[in-house]
Structure 1
Amino acid sequence: MGYKPGRCLLKQRLREIGKTQQWLSEVTGLSKAQISDYANNRKVMKLSTAKTIATAIGCNIDDLYEFIKVG
């Protein structure tokens, strides 16, 4: 049994702390386009990127995605 990332929850996490994708781009050094791709489920974050984002917004990596059981 394992897990795969489902829907990205980045938009919700940012809304909860009253921050924008622009702000996240500025504090992480990631491009606005990259952050938009993650937030709109066009791309899945690498582990290192998820850690960077989670640290910036004060949450756990697990809080960035809905995870789906596989197997």
Structure 2
Amino acid sequence: MSDKAKNSKGKKTVVESEMTYEQKLERENELLRLEVEYLKKLRAFQMDPEGYLEKHKQRYHSNSKKSSN
């Protein structure tokens, strides 16, 4: 295992050990909510890719393309 991997693993353990049980549960809850949200979007995309992309396409500002005068 590389030193970088060991350091990041060690930091995670220190941070987690400093968290209270309630904070750990809140963090887990947040991660689960994000996962559910992601899976819902994935399912919507799989069911209708074109409709999903049309609904969620990015809107570009009119000033992003400067006119040359």
User: Per chain length, whose mean CA-contact separation is higher, i.e. which structure has more relative contact order (CA < 8 Å, sep 6+)?
Assistant: 1
Name the one with the larger strand percent: 1
Instruction: Indicate the TM-score class for this superposition, using the shorter chain for normalisation.
Output: under 0.3
Per the normalisation by structure 1, the TM-score is 0.24
**Structure exhibiting the larger radius of gyration computed from Cα positions:** 2
